[in-house]
Amino acid sequence: DAERKQKIPIFDSPHLYYDLYTLLPGQRQRPFAFKRSDKIVYVLEGVLRASVDGEQADLTAGQALWIPAGAVNSLENAGREPVVALVVVAPHPECAKRKKKHPDLRPGAG
């Protein structure tokens, strides 16, 4: 769907996941909040308008934003060029929902 952002999974583990987002000019992500997970947005290209609990900021390449768990947030391409951003979420929302400890995945761990 040309109206929706493109979200490309890069890494997924019990501890965190990160995706590459691409938004065309005018595209936006609906307001959303992770109850128990933080979100970090790092802009690689373009001008990204972030709204967090009603406050807005425009981010450009090389800038990052931390969005704490529970904060209602949305992302929007505020420029004339595509936005490319790395989005990291931790802990992984599925683990956070279950409120379980993350398994120790190191070799030989218990």
pLDDT of residue 39: 96
Average pLDDT over residues 91-108: 63
**Number of structural domains the chain divides into:** 1
Residue 89 maps to which CATH number?
2.60.120.10
The token pair that represents 14 in the structure block: 């019990």
Asked if the structure places residue 32 within a domain, the reply is: yes
* Residue 107, domain member (yes or no): no
Q: Specify the pLDDT at position 110.
A: 47
Tokens coding 79: 């420029």
- Any domain includes 109: no
Whether 105 maps to a domain, the answer reads no
Tell me, yes or no, whether 103 lies in a domain: no
pLDDT, one tens digit per residue, over 22-77 is 999 999 999 999 999 999 999 999 999 999 999 999 999 999 999 999 999 999 99
Q: What CA–CA distance (Å, rounded) separates 30 from 15? A: 25
Q: Give SS3 for 97.
A: helix
Look at residue 42 and tell me if it is in a domain: yes
Whether residue 46 lies inside any domain: the answer is yes
| Domain coverage including residue 42 | 6-98
The two structure tokens encoding residue 76:
């929007």
66 CB-contact burial (10 Å; exposed 0-12 / middle 13-18 / buried 19+):
exposed
Residue 53 has a pLDDT of: 97
Give the residue from 68, 64, 58, 71 showing the smallest Cα distance to 85. Answer: 64
**52 in a domain, yes or no?**
yes
Estimate the share of the chain in helix, then strand, then coil, as percent rounded to the nearest 5.
Answer: 5, 50, 45
